[in-house]
Amino acid sequence: MNEKKGLTRRGFLKKGAMVTAIGAVCTTGMVETASAKSGTYATLIDLTKCDGCGNEPIPKCVEACRKENEKKFPDPKEPIKDLWPQKGHDDWSKKRDVVNQLTPYNWTTIQKVDVDGEEFHIPRRCMHCDNPPCANLCPFGALNKYSDGSVVINHDLCMGGAKCKAVCPWHIPQRQSGVGLYLKLQPLPAGGGVMYKCDLCRDRIKKGQVPACVEACEKRLGGKKPLHFGRREEMVKNAHERAREIGGFIYGEEENGGTATLYVSRIPFERIDSKLKETKSNLLMGKVLNPLREVNGWAKGFLIGPLLSALGAIGLAIYHRREGKKKEKE
């Protein structure tokens, strides 16, 4: 059949996949928002007990997280091209050993602050928000909040547009360029890699195990460990008990509408926050309101931008076709 006059069977199937994908976008990631509800599990981090693993080459929780997630880390194709129209790209692949900040190869890190001559160590990772703006605003439906409490990025679907990082109050997700679906769409200005962050060890939770970081910390400190994992209501109860015991404060119960990562501290979080600001970190611990009231106009516009909708649909179509092929092979 003449391509100009009509569609080939292949072209028809492609268009069909696209229409299906547009439908999927409209019914999943694009217009619906993740509901505001807490999940089953949460982590409680007691800042009075973390010593930053000062006597270890790498904090045990960080080491365990890296080992656990090694197989999910990106392996970019060289040369990594600049994103268009910006000049530049994000490449952490030659700095895989960096542990003092969040990167695509390091999903948890320990911040250090000095308050009134006392040193505090703060394990940081995704907060797993009850109402995650990252998932609500991802135009490709690549982020999901699950009933176990985790907020997880689907690396096969992520285009690396980094809108999740822009709307995250703590700027948690980190981008690696040169990997992912966006490579298939070049030279279209779509995305720029894949975003990475802590997934609450969802695969381990499914097997009835605790997250790797919690297990490693317990191996080192036993009952004195600062990291606790369990049912969320129990973690909230424990946080309140501990806060009462030490005359302390809780972070994460209300922030951003509630999160599945809770902190308890003897020092007010406002003070920790101002100390973190002095270090010029953008991983802060300030008050955060419900993000859905704070979403900028541009972000709302982004949700319905027709060009991006179409790009999202193309991305989804490629993903579904690839998944289909995989299943056929199997």
Which two three-digit tokens encode residue 18? Answer: 């696209």
Q: Please say which residue, 155 or 197, places its beta carbon nearer to ligand SF4.
A: 197
Closest CA to 153 of 83, 327, 282, 168: 168
Q: Is the peptide bond before 85 cis (omega within 30 degrees of 0)?
A: yes
Q: Which is nearer to ligand SF4, 14 or 165 (CB)?
A: 165
CA angle 23, 323, 96 (to 5 degrees): 110
CB 209 within 8 A of CB 152: no
Size, binding site for ligand SF4 by CB under 6 A: 43
Count Cα neighbours of 126 within 13 Å in the Cβ-side half-sphere.
33
User: CB 136 → ligand SF4: shortest distance, Å?
Assistant: 9
Backbone angles phi, psi at 92, to 5 degrees: -105, 5
Per-residue binder mask for ligand SF4 (CB under 6 A), 137-156, x = binder = --------------x-----
Residues 6+ apart with CB under 8 A from 211: 43, 200, 201, 204, 205, 229
Binding ligand SF4 by CB under 6 A: which of 41, 73, 105, 107? Answer: 107
Q: How many helices (H) and strands (E) does the chain have?
A: 11, 10
Rounded Cα–Cα distance for residues 261 and 42 (Å)? 6
Contact 47, 266 (CB under 8 A): yes
Strands (E), the chain: 41-46, 109-115, 118-124, 143-145, 151-153, 174-176, 194-196, 227-231, 249-251, 261-265
CB of 57 to ligand SF4, least distance (A): 12
Show the beta-strand stretches assigned E in 160-209. Answer: 174-176, 194-196
For ligand SF4, the binding residue among 30, 159, 201, 313 (CB under 6 A) is 201
Regarding 228 and contact with ligand SF4 (CB under 6 A), the answer is: no
For ligand SF4, give the closer residue by CB, 221 or 267.
221
Query: Among residue numbers 76 through 105, which ones bind ligand SF4 (CB under 6 A)?
Result: none
108 binds ligand SF4 (CB under 6 A): yes
Report the amino acid identity of residue 9: R
257 binds ligand SF4 (CB under 6 A): no
Stretch that binds ligand SF4, among 30-38, 77-85, 210-218, 262-270 (CB under 6 A): 210-218
Asked if 34 is part of the footprint of ligand SF4 (rule: CB under 6 A), the reply reads no
- 205 near ligand SF4, judged by CB under 6 A: no
- Output the smallest distance, CB 131 to ligand SF4, in A: 9
Q: Which of 38, 90, 125, 193 binds ligand SF4 (CB under 6 A)?
A: 125
Residue 179 interacting with ligand SF4 (CB under 6 A) = no
Q: In whole angstroms, how close is the CB of 282 to ligand SF4 at the nearest point?
A: 12
Q: Are 264 and 255 in contact (CB under 8 A)?
A: no
Residue from 195, 196, 185 nearest 319 by CA:
185
From residue 48 to residue 67, the character string flagging contacts with ligand SF4 as x (rule: CB under 6 A) and all else as - is: --xxxx-----xxx--xx--
Among 99, 199, 275, 319, binds ligand SF4 (CB under 6 A): 199
Residue 68 touching ligand SF4 (CB under 6 A): yes
- Chain residues binding ligand SF4 by CB under 6 A are 50-53, 59-61, 64-65, 68-69, 107-108, 110, 121, 123, 125-129, 132-134, 151, 168, 170, 172-173, 197-201, 211-213, 216-217, 220-221, 226-227
